[in-house]
């Protein structure tokens, strides 16, 4: 885990929080590569919530683990709603690093994590712009199905 160590109890708490509130998925991005439109996929783990102390706990644990993440805030358009935050761990390196630590403690998202980890392992054997293999497409489809 690098120089910093998160407590096992914190990692277990975060795993439980993600089991209940998190989303393990793949996100697409559309760009131009050598003048041509190109779409690619990357793994993403995200969680949304409105409770600020929970955000502080999650970011503290991720910082202790040395896992990169992004935080975004949403201001509600409905006056009856609370502002919310979203933490996203995205990309193969960040997601892989995080899953190595958190996967042993996941319950309901354990199968999501296994498939995303397998996808990363397969994808790392290819160049970035190589077409996706049937195995990669199948793993992405399985994760998508688990989310519905």
In tens, the pLDDT along 71-97 reads 999 999 999 999 999 999 999 999 999
Looking at the structure of the chain, the number of domains it has is: 1
Q: Domain holding 65: CATH number? A: 3.10.28.10
Position 110 in a domain: yes
Residue range(s) defining the domain that contains residue 139? 8-146
Position 1 in a domain: no
Q: What secondary structure does DSSP assign to 79-126, as a single string? A: TTSPPEEEEEEESHHHHHHHHHHHGGG-STTHHHHHHHHHHHHHHTTS
Q: What is the pLDDT of residue 61?
A: 97
Position 14 in a domain: yes
Instruction: Provide the residue-wise pLDDT of the chain in tens; the chain has 148 residues.
Output: 443 467 999 999 999 999 999 999 999 998 877 788 878 899 999 999 999 999 999 999 999 999 999 999 999 999 999 999 999 999 999 999 999 999 999 999 999 999 999 999 999 999 878 899 999 999 999 999 999 9
Q: What is the pLDDT of residue 56?
A: 97
pTM: 0.90
Position 2 in a domain: no
CA dihedral 105, 58, 9, 42 (to 10 degrees): 20
Position 35 in a domain: yes
DSSP letter for 130, please: S
């Amino acid at each position: 885990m690098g120089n910093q160590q998160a407590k096992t109890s914190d990692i277990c708490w975060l795993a439980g929080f993600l089991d209940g509130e998190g989303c393990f998925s793949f996100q697409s991005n559309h760009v131009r590569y050598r003048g041509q439109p190109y779409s690619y996929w990357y793994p993403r783990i995200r969680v949304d919530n409105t409770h600020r102390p929970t955000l502080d706990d999650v970011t503290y644990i991720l910082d202790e683990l040395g896992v990169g993440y992004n935080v975004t805030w949403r201001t509600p358009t409905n006056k009856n709603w609370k502002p919310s935050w979203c933490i996203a761990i995205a990309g193969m390196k960040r997601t892989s690093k995080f899953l190595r630590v958190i996967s042993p403690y996941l319950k309901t998202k354990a199968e999501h994590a296994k498939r995303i980890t397998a996808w990363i392992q397969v994808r790392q054997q290819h160049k970035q712009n190589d077409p996706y293999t049937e195995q990669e497409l199948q793993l992405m489809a399985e994760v998508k199905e688990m989310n519905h």
